[in-house]
Amino acid sequence: MSNLLLHIKDAYYFEVPKFLWQSQRKSASEFPDWIVRNDPGFQHREATSVAKALEGLGSGISADALTNQWSEWQSRPGNFGRPMDVYLDMGADAVVKRATRWSKKNAPTSREPLSAYLASSDAEEPLGWFARLRSDPKFRKKWEAIKDEHNSNEFVGNYLAGEGSEWSASKIEEYNHALSGKILIPQIFGGKLRNAYEPESGFCLSKFMIIELVVALLLVGIFAWLGRRIQGGAVPKGRAWNLLEGLMEYVRKQVFEPAMGPEDSRRFMPLLATLFVFIFGLNLAGMIPFLGAPTASLACTAALALVVFAVGLVWGVRAMGPVGYLKNLCPEMGLPPALAIIIVPMLWSIEFISLFMKHGILALRLLANMVAGHAVLLGLMGLAVGSAALYTGASFGLWTPLGLAIGLGMVGMSLLELFIAFLQAAMFTFLAGLFISSSIHHH
């Protein structure tokens, strides 16, 4: 198993053991663009150039002072690797927010809350000058041009031809060591990366996207093959055919029908069966070393929950109309009019909020269960490695029982996680069927 971060955070590379994929780049120009952009030497040159460009526009602050401010800010937790333009824009956005809050309390009639805030005696904003300048459309246009210039490939190319060509052997070796074992995903759609885990702009292809696509294509191929066999009317033969058909029959009888009833389960069988096998396949991907489970990512589980919400909304409106759908959120209770006037609006408000909450919890539930399994396996691995380090040089009779117990524990937990992969796929589709059914029927 790989580390927990690999399972719960998407990335733009596939990780393998370092000895299988070694980076042997010889110069700065051979490294990915995002490696160069995150290099401290490049960022310092970029920051100095941006500061000088702003000084030339009459910003009123020296380039050296601005560069020092940025360096101090970048050293704070959470800011490492952020370039000068991000520092300035984030700082200006924060000033504008504080000015808006201040003006609501102290100058509600002011037409220029930012200017009033910066002019107040208690406002000490290091980037107030930039926030004021950026509020001018003419300056903002020039600022966008400065950012485009420094984010361009030409600027990186000039750096590589100059300072970048002088990267030391130790720096190149350090970056090679960091990239060894990482199979970087080519960004064939023109997306630009900020680092190995965050996109900068455009459509960036990530590891979980590729896993999801591979699982989807495998399922299409498998069930297309099964569909052709069933259409022929032949008796099921072979382990694969019996396994797939038995699986679909089991989840229909034990998962879909209890949630929706026989009639609705047949109507929504294509959707729910697709959700089940897709989630099950993604869960199983997490059991493959160095891959990770996309269902341990909130982006994946939230998208699946959004599909369930959209289906329930569309079919609910089709069945009862927009007004009827909204009225159906509150069950009929047969209350006297005097009580209904008070209780029904309150109950409807609670049910309306819960409509969104329950789909959010649907996403978080799957996410939490998948992350928990990987966390337990990671803990057992840590126990095994820690025990090995603790008892290095100890007698064979002491180490053998401990190592055997930990190994058997990991095998048992892995088998349990296989069961959980199936169980969580079934629970997600069961709840999906339940939510859809409640949307299309009167309470």
- Which tens digits make up the pLDDT trace of 325-372? 888 777 776 667 777 677 778 888 888 888 899 999 999 888 888 887
Residue 184, beta-bridge partner list: 13
Question: What per-residue confidence (pLDDT) applies to 238?
Answer: 80
Give the residue from 366, 375, 371, 356 showing the smallest Cα distance to 428.
366
Q: CA-CA distance, 287 to 365, in Å (whole number)?
A: 19
Give the residue from 291, 280, 283, 304 showing the smallest Cα distance to 223.
280
Q: CA-CA distance, 189 to 205, in Å (whole number)?
A: 8
Question: What per-residue confidence (pLDDT) applies to 305?
Answer: 94
Lowest mean pLDDT segment, chosen from 30-34, 177-181, 342-346, 417-421: 342-346
Whether 270 and 345 map to the same domain: the answer is yes
Whether 263 and 342 map to the same domain: the answer is yes
Answer whether residue 8 shows pLDDT above 60.
no
* Residue at 303 is within a domain: yes
Q: How many domains does the chain have?
A: 2
Whether 248 and 157 map to the same domain: the answer is no
- Please give the structure tokens belonging to residue 378: 């990671």
Residue 212: CB atoms within 10 Å? 20
pLDDT in tens, 286-299: 888 788 889 888 88
Average pLDDT over residues 265-288: 89
Place of tokens 């609910």: 316
Which of 179, 197, 224 delimits the end of a domain?
179
Whether 99 and 243 map to the same domain: the answer is no
- Asked whether the beta carbons of 430 and 254 are under 8 A apart, the reply is no
Whether 94 and 237 map to the same domain: the answer is no
* pLDDT bucket at 141, cuts 50 / 70 / 90: very high
Whether 166 and 218 map to the same domain: the answer is no
| Side-chain-side CA neighbours of residue 135 (13 Å) | 17
- Asked whether the beta carbons of 85 and 145 are under 8 A apart, the reply is no
Question: What per-residue confidence (pLDDT) applies to 217?
Answer: 95
* Residue at 66 is within a domain: yes
Torsion of CA 110, 115, 117, 121, to 10 degrees: -120
Range of the domain at 29: 23-179
Q: Cα 41–44–47 angle (5° rounding)?
A: 150
Whether 296 and 356 map to the same domain: the answer is yes
Give the residue from 412, 417, 407 showing the smallest Cα distance to 374.
417
Whether 151 and 232 map to the same domain: the answer is no
Average pLDDT over residues 412-418: 77
Whether 168 and 216 map to the same domain: the answer is no
Contacts of 381 (CB under 8 A, 6+ apart): 1, 410
pLDDT in tens, 301-322: 999 999 999 999 999 888 888 8
Chain centre to alpha carbon of residue 78 = 18
Residue 96: CB atoms within 10 Å? 16
Question: What per-residue confidence (pLDDT) applies to 397?
Answer: 54
pLDDT in tens, 79-90: 888 899 999 999
Q: CA-CA distance, 12 to 171, in Å (whole number)?
A: 22
Residue 25: CB atoms within 10 Å? 15
- Please give the structure tokens belonging to residue 338: 């005097």
